[in-house]
Every structure is written in C-alpha cells, then in structure tokens.
Amino acid sequence: MPEPARSGPETALPGPAASDPAALAHIHAACFTTTPRPWPEAEIAGLLRLPHVFLLSQPAGFLLGQAIAGEAEILTLAVAPEARRQGLARRLVADFLTSARARGAEQAFLEVSAENPAAIALYLATGFTRAGLRRGYYESDSGAKIDALVMSRTLMPGA
C-alpha cells in the first residue's frame, strides 16, 4: 500500500512524493553505481517511514534528510544526469537547510566520496566545510577503497 504524501513544505514541491519510492529509486539508480550503491525502492520506503527522515524533491532530483537531537544530515542527494547544472541541487540543499532549522537542528552534516568533485563543489558552495575524513569508507567496482569526506555547517541564526 503506498504511503500517504507527507504534510509540510516538502510536499509543495513538484517532484516525486514520499508515496512514490519507485520514482525516487529510479533517479537514485541513474546517479549512483558503487560509491555509494543505488538504494532500492524498499530501502527508500523504509527510510521514509522513520519520523525524523524527510524528503525534498524536484521533478528530476531529490534529497533525503534527517533531523534528530539537534543535528541534521543529508542522507542522499541525486539529480538525474539530464537535469544537472540547472541549480536543482543547490535549491534542494537550500530547502534542506530550511527544513532542518525548522526541525530544530543547529548543525548539519554529510559525507561524500573524496572522488566526487561535483558534489564537493556543490557543498562548498552551500556553506559546508570539511570536518573529517573516513579512510576507505567506500569501495569501487574494482574493489578499490575510496575515502569519504565528512562535511558540516552550522544552522544557527545569522550563519
């Protein structure tokens, strides 16, 4: 049985809804291969059932975030290849920051492959800075270990 769409500002956006995890999984599969791997529909649906997880979506992209105990995290962010460099991800991250603040978070975190310059540029452009390194966190198709950067930014007023 499909989940009902959630209330709140997220659902005002025109992309796939929380009730359509298949559409979200389709976009995710177009964006990720191994670092990290694509998330199946059931996994996305399971995350969306958690009360602290929220969805922000655009027609060809989405962001899953969570906010709990004063901290927010970008769990995943995906924009379909044909829709890139049009500002969708920048808008999704801005909406994530707004939603995270509204949910009481004071600090935001994410992790990103050290070999993903596009995403790192995006996060630097949206106010995140490097906070740590997780060595060998991801594994490529060939079995090579890839580091993850941990990035963070404050959500406090005026920041």
Q: Which is nearer to ligand COA, 141 or 157 (CB)?
A: 141
Residues 6+ apart with CB under 8 A from 118: none
β-pairing, 71-79 with 53-58?
A: unpaired
> In the range 23-42, which residues lie near ligand COA by CB under 6 A?
31-32
Interface region with ligand COA, contact rule CB under 6 A, candidates 44-52, 113-121, 135-143, 144-152? 113-121
Position 78 contacts ligand COA (CB under 6 A)? yes
**16 touches 25 (CB < 8 A):** no
Phi, psi of 135 (to 5 degrees): -70, 130
Position 119 contacts ligand COA (CB under 6 A)? yes
Residue 139 annotated as catalytic:
no
Residue 138 annotated as catalytic:
no
β-pairing, 61-68 with 145-154?
A: unpaired
Position 76 contacts ligand COA (CB under 6 A)? yes
**91 touches 59 (CB < 8 A):** no
- 44 burial (CB, 10 Å; 0-12 / 13-18 / 19+) is buried
Position 112 contacts ligand COA (CB under 6 A)? yes
Q: Which is nearer to ligand COA, 86 or 129 (CB)?
A: 86
# residues contacting ligand COA (CB under 6 A):
21
Q: Determine which one of 43, 111, 138, 139 is catalytic.
A: 111
Give SS3 for 128.
Answer: coil
**Which residue ranges make up the site for ligand COA (CB under 6 A)?**
31-32, 76-79, 84-90, 112, 116-119, 121-122, 125
Could you give the residue numbers annotated as active site?
111, 123
